[in-house]
Amino acid sequence: MTKRINTNEITLPPDAIKPKFKENAITVLQKRYLTKDQQGKVTETPQDMLWRVAKTVAAGELMFNTNAPIAQLAVDFYEMMAAFDFLPNSPTLMNAGRELGQLSACFVLPVEDSMESIFEAVKQTALIHKSGGGTGFSFSRIRPHNDVVHSTKGVSSGPLSFMSVFDCATETIKQGGTRRGANMAILRVDHPDIMDFIKAKADLTKLNNFNLSVAITDEFMEAVKVDGEYSLINPRDGEIVKKQNANKIFRQIVKQAWLTGEPGIVFIDRINAKNPTPQAGMIESTNPCGEQPLLPYESCNLGSINLANMVASDKVDFQKLGRTVEKAVHFLDNVIDINRYPLPEIDRVTKRNRKIGLGVMGFADMLAMLNTPYSSPKATEIAEEIMHFIDKKALDYSIALGEQRGAFPNFPESVYGRQNPSAPVRNATRTTIAPTGTLSILAGCSSGVEPMFAISYIRRVMDNTEMVEVNPVFEQVAQENGFYSEELIRKIAKLGTIQGLEEIPLKFRQVFETAHDITPQNHIDIQSAFQKYTNNAVSKTINFGHDATVEDVKDAYLLSYERGCKGITIYRDGCRANQVLSTAKTEKKSEGVEAVPPVKRDRPRSLVGKTYQMATGCGQMYVTINEDDSRRQFELFNFVGKAGGCAASQCEAIGRLVSLAWRSGMAPEPIVKQLIGISCHKPAGFGAQKVLSCADAIAQAVRQHMEAISGKTDSSMDEGAMSFGACPECGGSIEHESGCCVCHSCGYSECA
């Protein structure tokens, strides 16, 4: 049991610095982080929250020294956070000093090939999600579908069927209203069901609570290079099922990623080659965003240093960075001991290895402050230099802590213990580059090691008022150099980039690049540079333009392997939707081809059709699809909610537009692709029956109608579906960043 420590007598000095949270950050804090009473009223200030966290974590010193000066340490921790030099992961900010007391973000649970193990893992997942954590699983030990089950003389349903069970359980859990559940599902590339796993999210209405990654082996990659075969192995008995052409599987992975952004890949042999505790077990899975490989029942607490605050006089302030690294490692090591783990197994395994994950945010801001383009070779050099420094400082301080408190218990059998037994390392790993979607909003900086997602963007507040946000570094530069104006900022918000704007001097256009202004190779350059000196892995999304080809994605996958990355996640702009709305992009008409205007057909006096009942968050919807004599779709009517209500009027508008399109000759498939997967704040159902919005319900009804006519399922209509659409909390735009879907307007994160 973790020792409980009373910190009520420790008070914050009146001259302590006050955090300067922006309005957007205040909104996020009030919704998710600050303590509330039973009526939901906020009962603490942002300053109170940081002090609550600081004194709780500082009190962990008393476990090693009952006379420790924890009051001063608490102030040090507080000021580090209040200045936005460092912030811990969200569960620590939410739960430190509160009844729940669960402070870790990342967990991995084992899933063995038995019904008992599978459903024990489902129960444990529920407890972890309830406490605010995310979970990762490898389903590679489950025997393939149609394999023999000796106890019943039946056949196995395979790993994908059990993944659906986990997905439904996650959908049900609200995590106390602060964080939604998130999962990572990994399957080895040599599992017999690998092709089904790769295609699992071709239907984007399924497995919405999972990120998927294929565990790629070195054997597989070597076979890809020579267009050779590799073995598919039944995990039940270790027997080779058959030989498979590696490029056939690799092409399918690439194609599916091009279509939907998933699955990602993790290079599992490379991860285990860097496993610091091989005697304690092999690593099979990661946390939901892929940056934290963990053993079964391990957890890891993360935190990020704000690099934007580590620049002084146009240079990196390595002295301040070094001091911040030491305090952050001290902070995170204390968290391990004061944490209240959701399972006793997690408590035991976590403390055997004492892994922490110190990372960074604000890297793109730092580059801008150093007048360095993200896409330049100089940026790659800075990334290596910064991370090398952080990694070395973190290791040195971990050894210093080990000399005071003792090495992690598995140290004698670890890589470190065998190499240098006289240097008692306190933490088996120290560094991780995690996604910082919400933390970067709180700190007012760019996210993780990603490029700036936008120089300026429109934020919608609670009353639907639009406010224009601008990157603070760009704003300062623009004002200092005389080209700042409100008109320019709004123009940038609409365009999504400053490239091509001649009113901005070229040297600043070169420096302030956004995610889509740079090439996939530039993304991989930065990821591999950080990975070189990161113990765990790097959470990063490799962005592609909408016109990128499957071959472009393939080249990126191969390059990431060659560059030493531990995994890769790609996202092609608009791959989950045919982008009804886009930023400053319109389709060009084909040159030399005369457009034939559509002709609207007259309506006959009578038509024949079918009506479909769909459950939506606004109530039962009834969708009627009428056809003409040639069995072509002619018109669509729908009824939902009370007449005159907002939902009813919007749905009527959709019905009229769909009817107009059909009467003008448009096929139903493009309409389904445009509407399917659009989400709102009131989804209904779960699993295969999940309806994300009224628009999604209409699309699903049309698809059911088409499948009833053809007698077969047409998954091609799903290829353009959005799994996220608008932000379900504020209606703002969703960005795919660091392997997750996040909203920079309000801090919502699909991966928690």
The rounded distance, in Å, linking the Cα atoms of 394 and 411 is 17
Peptide bond preceding 263 in cis form (omega within 30 of 0)? yes
Bridging pattern class, strands 567-572 and 264-267: antiparallel
Catalytic residues: 287, 289, 291
Contact 436, 442 (CB under 8 A): no
The rounded distance, in Å, linking the Cα atoms of 182 and 135 is 6
SS3 content of the chain, % helix, strand, coil (to 5): 40, 15, 40
Identity of the amino acid at 47: Q
CA diameter of the chain = 91
What is the per-residue DSSP string for 154-187?
A: EE---HHHHHHHHHHHHHH--GGGT----EEEEE
Contact 641, 614 (CB under 8 A): no
The rounded distance, in Å, linking the Cα atoms of 532 and 535 is 8
Bridging pattern class, strands 608-616 and 619-627: antiparallel
Close Cβ partners of 121 (under 8 Å, ≥ 6 residues apart): 109, 110, 111, 137, 166
Bridging pattern class, strands 456-460 and 154-155: unpaired
Q: Nearest CA to 321 among 397, 424, 423? A: 397
Cross-strand pairs, 749: 742
- Buried-exposed string 481-516: b where 16+ CB fall within 10 A, e elsewhere: eeebeeebbeebbebbbbeebeebeeebbbbbbbbb
The rounded distance, in Å, linking the Cα atoms of 620 and 643 is 13
Cross-strand pairs, 153: none
Helix (H, G, I), strand (E, B) or coil at 440: helix
Sort residue 239 into left (φ over 0), alpha (ψ -120 to 50) or beta: beta
CA distances to 61, 240, 448, 553, 704 from 629, in Å: 80, 56, 58, 45, 20
Tally Cβ neighbours within 10 Å of residue 92: 26
Q: What is the DSSP letter of 343?
A: S
CA dihedral 116, 122, 125, 127 (to 10 degrees): -80
Please state the length of the chain: 752
Joined together, the tokens standing for residue 627 give 């056809």
The rounded distance, in Å, linking the Cα atoms of 199 and 205 is 13
Phi, psi of 509 (to 5 degrees): -60, -35
| Cα-to-chain-centroid distance, residue 87 | 18
Joined together, the tokens standing for residue 18 give 């006050």
Close Cβ partners of 5 (under 8 Å, ≥ 6 residues apart): 56, 59, 60, 62, 338
Q: What is the DSSP letter of 29?
A: I
Cross-strand pairs, 303: 88, 358
Contact 697, 614 (CB under 8 A): yes
Dihedral angle sign, alpha carbons of residues 401, 334, 530, 306? negative
Contact 628, 634 (CB under 8 A): yes
Tally Cβ neighbours within 10 Å of residue 704: 15
